[in-house]
Amino acid sequence: MIRVLSVASECAPLVKTGGLADVVGALPAALTTQGVDMRVLLPGYPAVRAAAADFDCVFEMPDLFGGPARLLAGQAAGLQLFVLAAPHLYDRDGGPYLDANGQDWADNDARFAALSWMGAQIGAEGAGGWQPDVVHAHDWQAGLTPVYLKARGVDLPTVMTVHNIAFHGVMPAERMADLALPDWAFHPDGMEYYGQASALKAGLMYAWKVTTVSPTYARELTTPEFGEGLDGVIRARGADVTGILNGIDEAAWNPAADPNIAAFKVPRGKVKTRRALLDELGLPEGDGPLCVVVSRMTAQKGLDLLLEALPGLLARGGRLALLGSGEPALEEAWRAADARHEGVAVRIGYDEAMSHRLIAGGDAILVPSRFEPCGLTQLYGLRYGTVPVVARTGGLADTVIDANPAALAAGVATGIQFAPVTAGALAMALDRLCDLHAQPTLFARMQRNGMRAPVGWGDSAAVYAALYAGMLPET
């Protein structure tokens, strides 16, 4: 049995802002079948502390970057967890990263340095009678873990996974001393980034292995267009970088047993689910496809492009339902679209149960992202027979088989890809969608293809397990 500590800032179902949480929450169960005992270290946000109310205290620190901290261990939500209880860092209203006004917490550097420090502590000395063979850090919030291990002289195998390279965790160089980070790490081949210190770069430089969440994203990160200033670092790591495709929790996303919807079979039951969704949203029936979007509302997600392409979809009898929140300007623009078009329904915020109903009831799910490391919503769409329309980038390119003439003739198409990522190309993709939707037999075949597509963790869990095993000494 290989013991792995997963260090992360969020984990479904306890705390979630995006796909990172889904991955961190799903991996432990997926890896169990591969002979891996994975435990997750999380910050003690209020919701996490509530779930850990009966956990045992297995380590105490009188002063961890400004206040006392305790490490709690126990089981919740089907996961073996370590929780860093540090009230001065985590016991506050707001989200994991942002305050109630939507601004970064001013002490995020200390909050996530503390998480990384504790990850290194568990890696070096163990906790509660358990010690990992490998430490697996996720995104910049855990990126300092390999540095803290190295500073302690501990040569423990480490993996750094980049879920989104756009966020670097940058701090002033002078903060390093406050956070017990070694001077020797601040140089161009270490964590120095244009005169500042980057937690993400630290993880990329000092982890034994680096993974990203899809093979195409791994290749994209070697280019200036997608590398966000770290493409040279990714190129330098060479063969140490692997793209491993994310999967989804097939138990949580199971159309035959989803408590949020009635069980259905495509296309018969899909018709009922679609009708119920239209009624819930107050949308009139149309001749075209009912398209759904479940997304953070940011420039990355391409929702401004969808606004430009929207009139063409509506003109062909299409309908659009959107669930999400994010940038105020985009929220306002979509509220205006809702008010202007009877065929558009917008719900600002996030509602997990509604996301299931949208994906179950829609004919198509739209993911027009400018970049997308992996993406999970297109996988949910495939699972529920909701045809994905996706930009040809990152994991979207790796998981959706475009309905080009060859794929249609072979009967293997599962969705529609478009490139370049522009409003014009998206509009043409939506036209293709409408054409396919107007051919019920062909469209139903695509839906069934999607529902048979592999979207779980089986293959990827085996790759992770092999990666961990490959870093351990032969016995």
Q: Which residue positions form the known binding site?
A: 16
Three-class DSSP category at 42: strand
Q: Which residues are annotated as a binding site for ADP-alpha-D-glucose?
A: 16
Please give the radius of gyration of the chain, using alpha carbons only, rounded to the nearest integer: 23
Of 83, 92, 87, 33, the residue nearest 57 (C-alpha): 83
Of 84, 56, 82, 76, the residue nearest 13 (C-alpha): 76
Both tokens of 161, joined, read 């996974």
Cis peptide, bond prior to residue 13, ω within 30 of zero: yes
According to DSSP, residue 209 is labeled E
Of 265, 324, 295, the residue nearest 452 (C-alpha): 265
Main-chain dihedrals φ then ψ at residue 437, nearest 5 degrees: -65, -30
Residue 64's contacts (CB-CB under 8 Å, 6 or more residues apart) are: 86, 89, 114, 117, 118
Alpha helices in 184-267, H assignment, sequence order: 199-206, 215-220, 224-227, 231-237
H-helix or E-strand spanning residue 69: strand 69-76
Please state, in angstroms and rounded to a whole number, the distance separating the CA atoms of residues 95 and 429: 36
Burial class (CB in 10 A: 0-12, 13-18, 19+), 223: exposed
Residues 365 and 396: beta-carbon distance below 8 Å: no
Please state, in angstroms and rounded to a whole number, the distance separating the CA atoms of residues 14 and 149: 27
Please state, in angstroms and rounded to a whole number, the distance separating the CA atoms of residues 292 and 364: 6
Q: Amino acid identity, residue 75? A: Q
Of 242, 240, 201, 245, the residue nearest 219 (C-alpha): 242
Please state, in angstroms and rounded to a whole number, the distance separating the CA atoms of residues 436 and 439: 5
Both tokens of 57, joined, read 């205290």
Strands 387-391 and 290-297: unpaired
